[in-house]
Amino acid sequence: MNGAEWLVKALEAEGVDTLFGYPGGCIMPFYDALLGSTMKHVLVRHEQAAALAANGYARHSGRVGVCVATSGPGASNLVTGIADALLDSVPMVCITGQVPTHLMGTDAFQELDVFGMTLPIVKHSYLPRSVDELPAVLHEAFHLARSGRPGPVLIDLPKDVQLAKADHLPAPAPLISPPVVNAVPVGLVEALALIARSKKPVVYGGGGIAIADATKAFRRFIAATKMPTVLTLRGLGALPFDHPQFLGMLGMHGSRAANLAVQESDLLIVVGARFDDRATGKLAEFAPHAKVIHLDADLGEINKLRRADVSVHGRIDNSLNALCAAISRCDEWRALCADRVRKHAARYDAPGTDIYAPALLKRLSELAPDAIVACDVGQHQMWVAQHWGFKDPTHHLSSAGLGTMGFGLPAAIGAQLSNPGATVVCVSGDGSIQMNIQELATVARERLPIKIVLLDNQALGMVRQWQELFFQERYSAVDLSDNPDFGLIAQAYRIPAMRLDSRADQEATLAEFLAIDGPAFLHVAIDQKANVWPLVPPNKSNTEMLDAPAQAEAVAHDKSKEFVHALPT
């Protein structure tokens, strides 16, 4: 047995059943050892997609995602997916080939210091110089990736270490993690007192709820206290979309009911959230009257951006279970918040006969209520967050911290392979889809029944919207009017494709699309002028929300810019 063969056995012992990668010279011994393995290797068509697919696999399953690439450009192509995992706290182990140890530092063919270049975007990096280091490295890598605040770990593996004799190494076995001590966090007495005194409390939940597997505890806490609740982009689904206490997403593209409640609150109970700038708007004016109780497993997030009056550091589920005893006397406030949800509810009766993206997505959500949705980045990402009815946070896969275009399709691949029987929908835009469009080949080869919905406005929509509103309509490098016929591209990969450009055909087309056995591609034409509303302008308070009427006034002076969308014939 050599080092590569030992490593394959060790991955199997860790419970890895699927890994995503692309072979090359310095990782070839590992690929040779994969032959006959019980693990499924998924050959992507670009290493970035390997990292993003492992990312999607981990986000949905909660298990450690694994990706593999060779040295040099193979390793550097993983970097974006690794950084995405770090910013969204996704557990991953990334294995890269490296030139033999005696050639390191000589500018050998396909040599890069991937250990150094990834140091800022991983929880830890390993560069074993001897096969004897492999057992400790592998055990620690998986432990670090999934413990505490999860994140990516890199193992940079020289070729000679892979080829070295490993018969003397211990038989691969999973690391036995020490039992978790369910200690009662400090600060709970003070937190209970603050909640009892508050008249306008708001619970502000984030992605840390799902990361900590604390969704059930969070729902018990809301049921016990009945406090109005807002969620971040990563937190969506922690409460079902139709829960009576749920006010909506907060922040730049959040609901008016959610943002107004936060701004008027006298107490914020922050659960697994990090006061991200897209959630807070102008931080100095965020929730100006509120005291803050901050629950988080990562001590580094507490007091980082907003001082907490009470910090509760530790396991979120333990803290929430203890806080279920809180007494919240906020009936009038709760009624006011619920009335605002009704008053400011989204409307789907847009005039005209063209496809209205929010209504399309809402209807898709109703037709596929249990779907896992992997989004790309842009206007369509915000429309999904606003209008899809999520009931589980692991069913919403969205690149939040890094905002990675090209995330959606590989993440959908990873999610589908982690849950083969699930309905997986990838929602993308005509800009994002071309970042990793080659992964249609992976979908086709694996016959993954992913339903790909492409919203095509022939522009980089979010950038175009900002240029319209904040750069005096000076449109620069956003025109995608020379888009290809995406349906023909899908068909070239042997994926059935449909197109939709009329509201009258929407219902029948969506039903036919979802009924296709196997993968399917739906090319949807939408108006280039359609914008995401509400919108909090940059560096403004979350009370300063713009919506469609304001935008209409801004563009009313120039009717020459009417846009007529036509899909390729």
Strand extents, DSSP E, 218-274: 229-231, 246-249, 267-271
How far apart CA 55 and CA 427 sit, in angstroms, is 17
Largest CA distance in the chain: 78
Q: Looking at this protein, which amino acid is placed at residue 554?
A: A
Question: Please, are residues 139 and 7 in contact by the beta-carbon 8 Å criterion?
Answer: no
> C-alpha distances in angstroms, 14 versus 10, 32, 73, 135, 443?
6, 20, 28, 12, 26
How far apart CA 536 and CA 554 sit, in angstroms, is 16
**In the beta sheet, which residues pair with residue 154?**
94, 125
How far apart CA 313 and CA 310 sit, in angstroms, is 10
Tell me if residue 1 falls in helix, strand or coil. Answer: coil
Dihedrals φ, ψ of 70, to 5°?
-85, -175
How far apart CA 60 and CA 54 sit, in angstroms, is 10
Tokens of 218: 């969070």
Tokens of 227: 């406090």
Question: Please, are residues 156 and 127 in contact by the beta-carbon 8 Å criterion?
Answer: yes
Q: What share of the chain is helix, strand, coil (3-state, %, to 5)?
A: 40, 15, 45
Question: Please, are residues 436 and 376 in contact by the beta-carbon 8 Å criterion?
Answer: no
How far apart CA 241 and CA 372 sit, in angstroms, is 15
Cα atoms found within 13 Å of the Cα of residue 416, Cβ hemisphere only: 24
Tell me if residue 374 falls in helix, strand or coil. Answer: strand
Active site residues: 47, 109-110, 159, 462
Strands 18-21 and 65-69, bridge-based pairing: parallel
Torsion of CA 125, 234, 49, 421, to 10 degrees: 120
Question: Please, are residues 374 and 426 in contact by the beta-carbon 8 Å criterion?
Answer: yes
The closest of 158, 60, 50 to 424, measured between CA atoms, is 60
Centroid of chain to Cα 272: 15
Question: Please, are residues 181 and 243 in contact by the beta-carbon 8 Å criterion?
Answer: no
Give Cβ neighbours of residue 481 (< 8 Å, ≥ 6 apart). 458, 459
Centroid of chain to Cα 20: 18
Burial 419-438 (b: 16+ CB within 10 A, else e): beeebbbbbbbbbbbbbbbe
Question: Please, are residues 281 and 252 in contact by the beta-carbon 8 Å criterion?
Answer: yes
